[in-house]
Amino acid sequence: MTDPILVRETLDGGIARLTLNSPHSLNALSDAMLAALSDQLAQIATDKTIKVVILRGTGKVFCAGHDLKEMQAGRASPDKGAAYFADLFNRCADVMQAITTLPQPVIASAHGIATAAGCQLVATCDMAIAATGTRFGVNGVNIGLFCSTPMVAMTRNVHAKHAFEMLVTGEFISATRAHDIGLINREVAPEALDDETLALARLVASKLGSAVRIGKRAFYDQRQLSLADAYAHAGKVMVENMLHRDTDEGISAFLEKRHPDWPS
C-alpha cells in the first residue's frame, strides 16, 4: 500500500493537522493533492469539534507549487490543453478560497521552500510560522510563467510593491524578509517549528469557538468593503456575537473574576 498523499491527524484540544505527504514531488499541488485538500477541508468545515487547522509539509520542503510534470503532460495531451489548464487553476483557486472561508483558522507551518503556488498557500492561510532558513518565492517568471494566481493571495497579504518585486524578479526571500513584509507571522528555529506552531494553535483553540468562527468570517468580509460599509457590517457582527449565550457567560466570568464555563 502507498502512503496517503495528505495525512490528517486530530490532536488534543480540537486541532487538526494536515501534512502534505508527497516528498518525492516536493509536496507539489498535483491533481491528487488538490483533490485531497479539497476533500479534507470540506470535512473539517462541518466538524465543530475542530477549532484550528495546521497545514505543513513532510520531507525537505513545505510545497514547491504546481506539479510541472503534470502540467506539461496536460499541454501535450490533445484532449486537454487549454481546458485542462483552466480546470487546474480553477480547482487550485477553489482550494485557496476554501481555506479562507473555512470556519476554523488555518496556520501554515513552513520549512525548506514555499514557491509559486506553495507560496500562495502560505499567503492564503490565516497565519503562518516558518523555520529559519525557509525561502519563499513566486518564481514562475523565471520559466516564462508569471505567477498570476499566486499574485491574488500575495497582494492581499503583502504590500503591493514588495509583492510585485517578488513576482516580477522571481527572486526568493528569506524567512526574516517574509516576516518583515507580512507574509508570515513568526520566524522560529527549525527544531522549534512544530512546537511553536502547536503553541499558537492551542492558544487560538482555547478561545470561544463560536466567537472565532464569527470573527474569521467577518475579518474577510469587511476587507472587501468601503470604510463605512465595513463598520456597518462589523457592527452587525458584534450584535450577533454579543447575543450569543456563551459570550454572555464569558463576560459574566470576566466580571466575576473566574474562568468561563464554555463547552469544550
Locate CATH 3.90.226.10 in the chain.
6-205
Residues of the chain with CATH 1.10.12: 209-255
CA distance linking residue 20 with residue 98, whole number of Å: 16
Please tell me the distance from the alpha carbon of residue 134 to that of residue 137, in angstroms, as a whole number. 10
Please report the pLDDT score of residue 79 as a whole number. 64
Residues in the chain: 264
Low-confidence ranges of the chain (pLDDT < 70): 1, 76-80
- What's the pLDDT score for residue 97? 97
Sign of CA dihedral 205, 208, 210, 213: negative
**Residue 160 confidence (pLDDT):** 94
What pLDDT, on a 0 to 100 scale, did the predictor assign at position 60? 96
Fold of 6-205: 2-enoyl-CoA Hydratase; Chain A, domain 1 (3.90.226)
Q: Residue 176 corresponds to which cell in the numbers above?
A: 526574516
Q: Is the pTM of this model over 0.85?
A: yes
Q: What is the pLDDT of residue 262?
A: 84
Q: How much is the pLDDT for 77?
A: 66
Tell me how far apart the alpha carbons of residues 93 and 82 are, in angstroms, rounded to a whole number: 16
17-49 per-position pLDDT tens digit = 999 999 999 999 999 999 999 999 999 999 999
Q: Cα–Cα distance between 186 and 216 in angstroms, integer?
A: 20
Instruction: Give the N- to C-terminal CA distance of the chain in Å, as an integer.
Output: 37
Pick the CATH number of 209-255 from 1.10.3470, 1.10.760, 1.10.12, 1.10.10: 1.10.12
